[in-house]
Amino acid sequence: MHRYIDYLHLRESEWSDQDLVQTIENLSASGVPMEKLIMNHRVDVANQTGVHGVQLTYRSMEVAKVKSAFPELKVGCSVHTVSEATHLARHGADFIVYGHIFETASKIVLEPKGVGSLQHVARQVSIPVIAIGGITPRNVQEVMAHGASGVAILSGILLAKDQLKAAQEYRYALTKSEVVM
């Protein structure tokens, strides 16, 4: 399946260091390139295992400190506002993940940001903006047309009856977006 995705974000906050390292080793042994792996929050695990990068959260070390200590890591940050996005871009983030864009079962009490807000954020920063939340193959083109550099998918693939087919559908939608733009 990794042929159809650009990155695999390991986001299991309850897992031990051993669980994370074992999973990374298993993924690598099964052919997933290390440059496709992004570790959530755990800068130490990302550095020690040689994965491509780390996705920082509100609980994480400051982006500038991570970039200074681990310059080889690509550093992404989760953001929910324009001010967060511009602040983190100025302080060294390599990319941001912005959302949630559309309604999603994981954020039922929060109003979606919408594609207009996504476009506003994308115009304010010079780094890639990855859209997250409620993204489907049917709305990928709309998201990309509003400034996203890519999309982050969780339930759209993991909860699909056929995960491989779902990943292929997202890849096809992204390919169509590249042609349209």
User: Active-site residues: which are they?
Assistant: 100
d(CA 44, CA 47): 5
User: How far is C-alpha 117 from the chain's CA centre?
Assistant: 18
Contact 85, 124 (CB under 8 A): yes
How is 55-94 classified by DSSP, letter by letter?
EE-TTSPPHHHHHHH-TTSEEEEEESSHHHHHHHHHTT-S
103: CB partners within 8 A, 6+ apart: 112, 134
